Amino acid sequence: MQKRYAFFVSPDPDAMTPEIIKDLKEAYSIAHKRQERAEPLDWRGCTTPLEWKVNGKVEKFELYPETGTDFLYEYLRKFE
């Protein structure tokens, strides 16, 4: 089975150092070489699309557990 990866970036403009910009350029270069095409199908109804058309085939990607993201919020609060 071939592994598939998604590449999403939403950086804070104030956090963009020259090193981060260099790393992002490299990551974009790698991601650009992928030949697969992915199109979110349910993007109008949510902020985290689950259904995608990948090379003409509809696939689901469960990005979050059924319990939601509360576990992450509680985890990150430990570091405040």
pLDDT in tens, 50-60: 888 988 899 88
Instruction: Write out pLDDT tens, residues 20-47.
Output: 999 989 888 877 775 667 888 988 887 7
Where helices occur in 1-80 by DSSP H, the ranges are: 18-32, 70-77
pLDDT bin (cut points 50, 70, 90) of residue 76 is low
As a residue count, the chain comes to 80
pLDDT at 39: 86
Q: What is the DSSP letter of 13?
A: G
Judge if pTM exceeds 0.85: no
pLDDT at 5: 63
Could you state, in order of their start, the residue ranges of all structural domains in the chain? 13-77
Is the model's pLDDT at 11 over the cut of 80? yes
Question: What distance in Å separates the CA atoms of residue 1 and residue 11, rounded to the nearest whole number?
Answer: 31
